[in-house]
Copies of this chain bind each other. A is one copy, B any other.
Amino acid sequence: MREYLSITKALSDESRVRIVLFLSAGELCVCQIIELLALAPSTVSKHMAILHQARLVETRKQGRWVYYRLPDAAGPLAGGAIRWARESLAKDKQVRIDAKAAKAVRKADKEELCARYGRS
């Protein structure tokens, strides 16, 4: 029950489910997620901690950057939840916009993107 609740609470917040769907297309570093959600770094960091605690994301540190990705081998509960969320929101407008934005962010130069968190 505890695992179920940590997963459903994590995925019942709009920002966090958007993050999970971003990561469905591959890993991202925190500054890219900050850019996509347009939230403060501290806020995103807290969301990532909640997702991590629910075992919905894994982390990888490389130099100055911290990358998050969906688990390579998610537990059955987490895996099913992610799959269900993805299917449920497949046709959502915001999610479609997000997918395009994520594509652009992945192509963008990271140096330029992350400096001062991309706020130009």
A interface residues (Cβ-Cβ under 8 A, vs B): 1, 4-5, 8-9, 11-12, 14, 17, 77, 80-81, 84-85, 87-89, 92-95
Contacts and interface: CB of A to CB of B under 8 A. Distances in A.
B80 A88 contact: yes
A8 B85 CA distance: 9
Chain copies in complex: 2
Contact of A12 (B9, B77, B85, B88): B9
A12 B12 contact: yes
A1 B80 contact: no
A84 B81 contact: yes
A4 B13 CA distance: 10
A43 to B, nearest CB: 18
